[in-house]
Each structure stands twice: as C-alpha cells, then as structure tokens.
A and B are shown apart, each in its own frame.
Chain A
C-alpha cells in the first residue's frame, strides 16, 4: 500500500494537506505538524502535490494489521 509520509520536523502546519485530502486522513496536531491516519490514507498523492513546503512523500509501506 502507498501511504503519505510527512517530514514533521519541517512541516509548517499550514493545513493545506488536511483541507485537500479526499479521505480526511490528515489532521494538524495542536498547530505543530500534520499527521496521517494510515488506516484512511489511500496514497492518492493529492496532499503531496499541494503541500506548499513540499514535505510530504507518498511511499510504499507495509500495512500493519
């Protein structure tokens, strides 16, 4: 499965990814960084395309069951 991965150290918490995710898989943790709920993420890359800081990468991941 492909999942969005966020470089949280450089995330500016702008919320653009959250707003654009079709699965509502992203939330902004207390205004500090974005986090992905991997159970919801379908790896569509929308967030990766819109992130103004370019800190999201959609990568192949093992699904933890």
Chain B
C-alpha cells in the first residue's frame, strides 16, 4: 500500500504550474520552506526530505520512472561541504536581496515589477495576472519567491538529466540546512 505522503509530488507539480496562471499562488510555497526547518528544529532530522518532499519525489519520478536521467555519478565537488554550504550562502544572499526588494515596494521606493527572474539573471515578463486585489508588496514577494522556486526546479532538472534523478538533493539549500540543524542538535550522538 502506498502511503498518502508518497503522492506529495502531485502537490509540487500543481504548485509549479499554478504560478503560470496566478503568481499569487507562489505564497503557498512557503510551506516547503518552513515545514522542513520546523521539523528539524523539533528534532525530526531530515524527515521532510526522507518522506514528505514532493519535489524530491518529482525528480525521482521524472528521472527514475520516466528515465529522464542519465544516472551518472555526480562530480565529487558537488557533495563537498564547501560547495554545499557555499551554495546555501549564495542562495540565502539572493533570498535576502529578494526580501529587500519586496521591502522597497512595501515602503513605496519602488513600483511593483511583474517579472520572474530565472537563474538570478534572465528576466521574464509575467504580467498576465491581475494582482490589484492585494498590496503591491504581497505581489512582489510572490514574483520573487516564484523566481526562487522556478530557478531551483530548473537547476534540479538539469542535474537530474546529467546525473542521478535526485542530484538536486545533494546541494538543495533546504536539505543542507536541515542536515546542518540536525548536526547541531545531535552533535554529541555522532560517532
């Protein structure tokens, strides 16, 4: 019998698609940020990655079941601590910049920019959603957050294609953070 959480990949797929229709759905993705951190803070280790992460399941499905992965070994440097923590630092810096630009829209310095930014550089116009129902900063955060989610999905798909299906999980910032938190928490117990 399959467990309910083995279908969470559907949630991830629907989430990514929903952003094309209405950018405000991007906010729902906060669940995928907060849940893993909370779970590891309360001592559940990487149970989010191990069980509940729909994105991981989606890569497994696309790369494994649908054979879209070449299944090669990942270059050793990607699993090294400096690369994983370096990528986390870069990712968090870009995240902080995104929060700051949301703030600039909030305090009226900047106007809402209806663009989704891919790989932190490519700007895609994304102006087919009417966001006038919410404050401009709420919409700005949605654009920024969706950019983060889409960028990481694309990176994940690329490494899935070249290496093993869940290669993204080797350098995923959430996975690095939850492992880091677990290490701090269980320092004494490690062999």
Binding site for B on A (CB under 8 A): 8, 10, 12-16, 18-19, 28-32, 49-55
In chain B, what residue has the closest Cβ to A31?
B45
A15–B165 CA distance with the chains assembled, in angstroms: 13
- Chain B at the A interface: mostly helix, strand, loop or mixed? helix
Nearest-Cβ distance from residue A5 to partner chain B, whole angstroms: 14
Residues of A contacting B168 in the complex (Cβ-Cβ under 8 angstroms): 52
Are B190 and A18 within 8 A (Cβ)? no
A14–B78 CA distance with the chains assembled, in angstroms: 14
Question: In the complex, which of the residues A10, A30, A50, A55 contacts B189, with contact meaning CB atoms closer than 8 Å?
Answer: A30
Binding site for A on B (CB under 8 A): 40, 43-47, 49-51, 56, 60, 64, 71, 73-74, 79-80, 84, 163-170, 175-176, 178-179, 181-183, 185-186, 189-191
Q: Knowing A12-B169, A13-B179, A14-B50 touch, does A31 contact B40 (C-beta < 8 A)? A: yes
Nearest-Cβ distance from residue A14 to partner chain B, whole angstroms: 4
Interface-centre pick from B47, B79, B163, B164 (highest chain A CB count, 10 A): B79
Known: A19-B50, A32-B179, A52-B170; 16 extra A-B contacts, CB below 8 A, are A12-B84, A12-B170, A14-B49, A14-B50, A30-B189, A31-B179, A31-B181, A31-B182, A31-B186, A32-B183, A32-B190, A50-B165, A53-B170, A54-B73, A54-B74, A54-B79
